[in-house]
Amino acid sequence: MNDNIKSGFVTIVGRPNVGKSTLMNRMIGQKIAITSNKPQTTRNRIRTVYTDERGQIIFFDTPGMNKPKNKLGRYMRNETNYCMNDADVICYLVEPYTFIGDNEEEIISILKNIDVPIILIINKTDMVKKDDILPIAKIYSSRLNLTDVIPVSARNGSNIDELLSAIFSQLPEGPLYYDEDTVTDQPVKVIAAEIIREKALHALNEEIPHGIAVIIEKFKKRAGKESITDIESTVYCERESHKGIIIGKNGSMLKKIGSNARFELERELNTKVNLQLFVKVNKDWRDNSLSLKNFGYIQDQ
Ligand SMILES: Nc1nc2c(ncn2[C@@H]2O[C@H](COP(=O)(O)OP(=O)(O)OP(=O)(O)O)[C@@H](O)[C@H]2O)c(=O)[nH]1
Ligand SMILES: [Mg+2]
């Protein structure tokens, strides 16, 4: 570490599904936030830490911004708002297209009223030609005061070093807030629940994924056999009919979700995992304050 190290808080915002969580994972070099091709994958702000000889960046990944449709949606929106005003830098992520829809317009109008340096990140550049990028940069630069425009591909890692340099150049000199080995403050039980929810998101279609919540009921190293972790978890959904789909014919869907989750949990925990999944219905929980609280979606700001 040199003397003049920099540090600060960087919030990643954008529409659902633009690749915020994928990008954050890529920058810290580890998968902490779950990702999927379904919008509204991230439900809480997720704090991670990147440290190198230049200093430390504390990232906040946030739920994608769109119009809230229920109490869960309003909670998610608050999570994002909470991380914006106090940030040292906002990373505003967009897809590589010049079209600016209503949702994007709303984000732009919010960002206009925030007095924080904004770096525009054009993600998914692996999907377009190089020549397509300049017009996108021009359109957004005409709408917002941007300190930088960085095209990247979170998927294949291109230009990530340039992005990290652009972020560091905006950060003030400051202390290391976390020790050098810290990557996240997410408790391991929360990470485990999110891994299970991710596998459910990947396996299920239509409206069901949005109505899923995962609770860890038991999480324990087996007495006398520390190389095994016993995990019991309940997958909550909103309808009896959804429960049937999540369980699948002869339990096949739940088995698939369980074995995909177990595979990743074993890698994460470095032990064998004995995973038992249960499915329960909690009708319309996304609009029920008590259920939201029980599922960990608490307004604690
Ligand atoms: N082609 C391509 N796909 C990407 C890239 N980055 C992310 N994706 C894909 O985009 C989808 C959404 O990624 P996420 O990281 O979950 O998006 P998000 O912005 O965090 O979404 P929410 O949490 O729902 O707001 C996933 O299928 C990713 O694999 C990229 O650079 N290129
Ligand atoms: Mg996300």
Least confident of 201-210, 216-225, 250-259: 201-210
Residues 217-229: tens digit of each pLDDT: 999 999 999 899 9
Q: Is the pLDDT of residue 99 over 60?
A: yes
Sheet holding 213-222, edge to edge: 213-222, 225-237, 272-281
- Answer yes or no: are the C-beta atoms of 246 and 200 closer than 8 Å: yes
Is residue 20 lining ligand 1, measured as CB closer than 6 Å?
yes
CA dist., res. 76 & res. 93, Å (int): 17
Q: What's the pLDDT at 94?
A: 98
CA dist., res. 189 & res. 131, Å (int): 45
Q: What's the pLDDT at 298?
A: 77
47: left (phi over 0), alpha (psi -120 to 50) or beta: beta
Is residue 25 lining ligand 1, measured as CB closer than 6 Å?
no
Q: Is the pLDDT of residue 213 over 50?
A: yes
**Going by CA atoms, what residue is nearest to atom 32 of ligand 1?**
124
Is residue 103 lining ligand 1, measured as CB closer than 6 Å?
no
Residues 35-76: tens digit of each pLDDT: 999 999 999 999 999 999 999 999 999 999 999 999 999 999
Q: Ligand 1: which of 17, 76, 195 to mutate, judged by most atoms within 8 Å of the beta carbon?
A: 17
**Going by CA atoms, what residue is nearest to atom 26 of ligand 1?**
37
Other beta carbons within 10 angstroms of residue 227's beta carbon come to 9
Measured from the Cα of 16, ligand 1's closest atom is 25
> How many angstroms separate the Cα of 254 from the Cα of each of 249, 258, 276, 284?
9, 6, 10, 21
**Going by CA atoms, what residue is nearest to atom 16 of ligand 1?**
35
Q: Is the pLDDT of residue 32 over 80?
A: yes
CA dihedral 217, 183, 13, 149 (to 10 degrees): -160
Measured from the Cα of 156, ligand 1's closest atom is 31
Is residue 26 lining ligand 1, measured as CB closer than 6 Å?
no
Domains delineated in the chain: 6-170 (3.40.50.300), 188-294 (3.30.300.20)
The owner of tokens 């604690």 is 300
**Confidence band (pLDDT; 50, 70, 90) for 2?**
low
Residues 6+ apart with CB under 8 A from 261: 195, 196, 198, 199, 275, 277
Nearest Cα residue to 73 out of 239, 241, 299, 283: 299
Q: Is the pLDDT of residue 3 over 50?
A: yes
Is residue 291 lining ligand 1, measured as CB closer than 6 Å?
no
Is residue 62 lining ligand 1, measured as CB closer than 6 Å?
no
Is residue 126 lining ligand 1, measured as CB closer than 6 Å?
yes
Other beta carbons within 10 angstroms of residue 185's beta carbon come to 12
pLDDT mean across residues, the chain: 95
- How large is the average pLDDT for residues 9-19? 98
- Answer yes or no: are the C-beta atoms of 210 and 221 closer than 8 Å: no
Q: What's the pLDDT at 226?
A: 87
Residues 128-170: tens digit of each pLDDT: 999 999 999 999 999 999 999 999 999 999 999 999 999 999 9
